[in-house]
Amino acid sequence: MSSVLVSSLTRRPRWLQAVADWCRGPWQLSQEGLALWLALYVSATANLTFFRVVAQTGAFAGDSGLWFGIALFVAITALNWFLFLLVVNRWTGRPVTALLLVVTAMATHYMNRYTVYLDPDMIRNILHTDTKEAGELLSLAALPSVVLLGLIPALIVYRVRFRPRTFGRAVAMRLSAILAALLLACAMIVSVYQPLASLMRNQKELRYLVTPGNYLVSLASVLQGPVHTGPKLPIGTRAKVVGRPAHAKPRLLVLVVGETVRAQNWGLNGYRRQTTPRLAQVDGLVNFTDVTACGSATEVSVPCMFSPYGRRDYDKGRIEGSEGLLHVLDHAGIRTLWRDNQGGCKGVCDGLAFESFRDARVRGACNVEGCMDEAMLSGLVDRATREQGDIVVVLHQLGSHGPAYYKRYPKRLSEFSPACESTELSQCSREQIVNAYDNSVLQTDDFLARTIHLLSGVTSMDTAMLYVSDHGESLGEGGLYLHGVPYAIAPKTQIKVPMVLWLSNGFAASRGLDRACLQRIASEPASHDNLFPSVLGLMQVATPEADADFDLFTPCARAVAHTDKTGAGSR
């Protein structure tokens, strides 16, 4: 009797025994059941940024807002269920879903930290990121998110065993589940159609926060988009140098393409800090105060600014498939050289002279992690003067590329402190982040001043420097960090950029440019669209592709006595 009593007291309840048996695994689920659990899990853990940004619009206010939020969550879950139903099967279900979970966990980490919108341009940036840039972004701070939200759920998925079914029943169950997922999504969307339509009409880019659909759809768009592996469409093949004075020296124009410097932190623009002390001492420097970039990321801005089409006629396929500014200069007989301390020329120098300084060994400017931008000045004058004729040299900076701002400047330029010394910006205060960023702007100021000093010492050529940043940067305003927000909603911090022009006396005289006039027009609105015709105008290259209305310097040019010969800049 006592043994029976002891047995009854020590026996586990059936429900508890069932839980213990389930935890020991392997677990049996239908494929549709696993897809539903995965959808619920991803909707709940990977879409916090989406719901946070929607909440900031006021869409969840009041009783109707509560139902709107619930309907949105159910609709996203239904759509995720549909997605997983397409990939979960007996053979591919576990490896594919495990991969999706890990990638989604990584995407979630960066979306939560920096409010990253995973649109096609951002995916293109990620795919084209080199190992050094990737190394700076992949910090140990991402590890807990990847392990907890990605690896552990992926291991759990591998413990699941699918319930055996006949082929006919499996097909019927799958089709029924797909239909149920679509009907549920449609029902939820219809129930909140009016507020949802209004929200998406005003905030179209919100769809790039719905995970994992955002990066999957964007990746498919990138892979299916125009990929130009063949020759680019020639433009400006009849371009020629015209109107050059008979006595003119050859010209050397250094075009500095900056990286991630925003106009708001540019000392010459009236920023509360003097982040451009050396440039402020340069006589005759022209500072353009209202310049708009044609993209919020390098992958968009650089091809766009070197194109004759620009943002006003933006067509990504057309831009990528056509030659650009440097090719037109080459057709006109002007030598070009691209010197790079970044991730390449993004196709705008294809087939032309190119030098990378990412792994250079320039004493005093390089270490095992890479080079400071001044490394690109090494041997520049010798290279430019080696041959006769005009030359345009592009210096593509590493500049203020984040999030490792503290790596972009030497200790001697650590003027603003304390500075963030981590690639995980969430570990730093906003003040520390801004301090590190401003120090990196000081490095660009120093680099540009060095470039001007170098050019001012060249006596055999008329020299000039034009600097413009490719895009700006967010430093925590509105919860945004870094750059790459879709252009339609990109804040001014990401698309307003600095631009400066320096001309030697000989260059200004031979080109007939009125310095006082240049200072007057410097406060007028300008953009990357002005770069193509303005550079051709500086070098006096005539071609139908250059729209004179967009040449910034034409209003300040005066007639100069010139030779009847054309092609004075030819090699």
As given in the structure block, the two tokens for residue 44 are: 């709940």
Diameter over CA atoms, the chain: 123
What is residue 498's three-state secondary structure? Answer: strand
Q: What is the mean pLDDT of the chain?
A: 89
Closest CA to 486 of 291, 203, 137, 259: 203
pLDDT value of position 57: 87
Amino acid at 376: M
- pLDDT tens across the length of the chain (571 residues): 455 544 554 566 776 766 666 556 567 788 898 899 999 999 999 999 999 999 988 899 888 889 999 999 999 999 999 999 998 888 877 888 889 999 999 999 988 888 888 888 888 877 777 666 666 666 667 788 889 898 999 888 888 888 888 888 888 999 999 999 999 999 999 999 888 988 888 888 899 999 999 989 889 888 886 655 668 899 999 999 998 877 789 999 999 999 999 999 999 999 999 999 999 999 999 999 999 999 999 999 999 999 999 998 899 889 989 999 999 999 999 999 999 999 899 999 999 999 999 888 888 888 888 899 999 999 999 999 988 899 999 999 999 998 999 999 999 999 999 999 988 888 899 999 999 999 999 999 999 999 999 999 999 999 999 999 999 999 999 888 999 999 988 999 999 999 999 999 999 999 999 999 999 999 999 999 999 999 999 999 999 999 999 999 999 988 665 544 444 443 3
Tens-digit pLDDT profile for residues 71-115: 999 999 999 999 999 988 888 778 888 899 999 999 999 888 888
Q: Domain 240-556 maps to which CATH number in 3.20.20.70, 3.40.720.10, 3.50.50.60, 1.20.1290.10?
A: 3.40.720.10
Q: Please, which residues have CB within 8 angstroms of residue 515's CB and are 6 or more apart in sequence?
A: 284, 286, 503, 508
Beta strand 251-258 pairing with 286-292: unpaired
Closest CA relative to residue 541, chosen from 287, 241, 280: 241
Q: So what's the pLDDT on residue 4? A: 52
The helix (run of H) or strand (run of E) holding residue 324 is: none
Q: Please give the pLDDT value at position 564.
A: 40
CB 403 within 8 A of CB 423: yes
Q: In what order do the strands lie in the sheet with 391-396?
A: 354-356, 335-340, 391-396, 251-258, 462-469, 496-503, 286-292, 526-527
pLDDT of residue 563: 47
| CB-based burial label for 529 (10 Å; 0-12, 13-18, 19+) | buried
Compute φ and ψ for 512, nearest 5 degrees.
Answer: 75, 40
Residue count of the chain: 571
Which H or E element spans position 12?
Answer: none
Tens-digit pLDDT profile for residues 359-401: 888 888 888 888 999 999 999 999 999 888 999 999 999 999 9
CATH 3.40.720.10 domain locations along the chain: 240-556
Residues β-bridged to residue 482? 474
Are the C-beta atoms of 150 and 38 separated by less than 8 Å? no
